[in-house]
Structure 1
Amino acid sequence: MANFLTEFSWIWLLGIAAILLLSIVMAVVASRQSKKLLAIINENAVASWQQQQQIEQLHQLLEQQVVQLKRSHQDVEELRSTVIGVGQRVLSLESHLGQGMQQVAELAEQQKSMHLFDPESKIYSRAMKMVHLGASLDEIMLECELPQAEAELLFNLHKQTK
């Protein structure tokens, strides 16, 4: 029986040693696995931190673009109101111009009709033609029956434009 006990003790000791050895191997494997897991966790943490930084930068950029968009919108509104004001002024000026052109046309028509029916204007036209043709002051006074002052005035005015 003593032999049995010793055999049993040896088996028992070998079993405990095998269990201890297996525990050590498992601890080493677990340690390696936990180191790998820690490395993966660290990589993921760094990547997550970098993504968070990028998200913050994008958020700041988005805020800047929103501010710039608001400014651009205000500028467009100011330009739109300015263009509307200018358009209204152009329409007003066109209206006034049309009225002015109509008045000029009416005055030209009146002048034309006065010129056709005014015998004095014919005399003055004839006198101007004579000045352009080189007639003397005396000739103009005789032909057109103009007083000396009027003949001199016409002579001097049209002689300069010649």
Structure 2
Amino acid sequence: MSETVNLEYIIGGVAFVVLTAVIFWLFTLSSRVRQLTEKVNQNSKSGQEQQEVIFSEINALRKECQSLQSQIKQAYSGIEQKDKSTQSLLNQLQNNQQQQLELITELNNKVLLLEQDNEPNRLYSRAKKMVELGADIDEIVMECELSRAEAELLLAMQRQSKSKSA
């Protein structure tokens, strides 16, 4: 997401620099046109040839201005397209992030369910450990929340296991 934000800043910065340069250049051209116009007015008495040269320079400058305006419009159009593309990427990233958050929530819920499903196994493991440590049936029933028959079965299995290993 930070890459798209950085890209927007870069595009905006480039556009700002280009537009600033264009405005400065237009200002310079405008100044030159003004100077030439003043020169024409001053030299109107000096001859027709000088006026034609100056007018041709003015026309050339006008054509340059028109060309530059066209380039500015194209640059602006390109910036708009990149902005739309960046916005689209940002929307996709936000959608992906939302989907990932939903998936994480779903997985957390499944883990909780699995942990809850394994609760009886923990009680049996604890009861088995208590049997190995020599606890009696009443202790096992109270501590592990097992029925008396389950506790007796665990004790019998422990005795059988000891007799096989001995």
TM value normalised by structure 1: 0.52
From the CA coordinates, give the structure whose radius of gyration is larger.
Answer: 1
Q: Identify the residue that residue 97 of structure 1 maps to in structure 2.
A: 118
Aligned-partner Cα distance in 1 for 2:91–2:123: 48
Question: What's the % identity of the aligned pairs?
Answer: 11
Q: How far does the alpha carbon of each residue in 1:119-143 deviate from its partner, in whole angstroms, 9 at most, with x for none?
A: xx47x845653xxxxxxxxxxxxxx
Aligned: 1:70 with 2:91: yes
Aligned-partner Cα distance in 2 for 1:109–1:23: 118
Q: CA deviation at 1:26?
A: 3.4
Aligned-partner Cα distance in 2 for 1:127–1:49: 96
Change in CA separation of 1:79 and 1:110 when aligned onto 2, cut-off 3 Å: same
Aligned-partner Cα distance in 1 for 2:49–2:90: 60
Query: Which runs of 5 or more structure 2 residues have no equivalent in the other structure?
Result: 1-42, 137-151
Q: Which has the higher contact order (CA 8 A, sep 6+)?
A: 2
Q: Identify the residue that residue 146 of structure 1 maps to in structure 2.
A: none
Quick one: which amino acid aligns to residue 103 of structure 2? Answer: T
Query: Which runs of 5 or more structure 1 residues have no equivalent in the other structure?
Result: 1-21, 130-162
Change in CA separation of 1:23 and 1:45 when aligned onto 2, cut-off 3 Å: closer
The number of aligned residues is 105
Aligned-partner Cα distance in 2 for 1:39–1:70: 47
Aligned-partner Cα distance in 2 for 1:128–1:44: 101
Change in CA separation of 1:108 and 1:23 when aligned onto 2, cut-off 3 Å: closer
Quick one: which amino acid aligns to residue 95 of structure 1? Answer: Q
Quick one: which amino acid aligns to residue 84 of structure 1? Answer: T
The residue correspondences of 1:2-21 to structure 2 (distance < 5 A) are none
Q: CA deviation at 1:106?
A: 2.2
Aligned-partner Cα distance in 1 for 2:164–2:71: 99
Q: How far does the alpha carbon of each residue in 1:74-103 deviate from its partner, in whole angstroms, 9 at most, with x for none?
A: 111111101111112112222333442123
Aligned-partner Cα distance in 2 for 1:108–1:26: 118
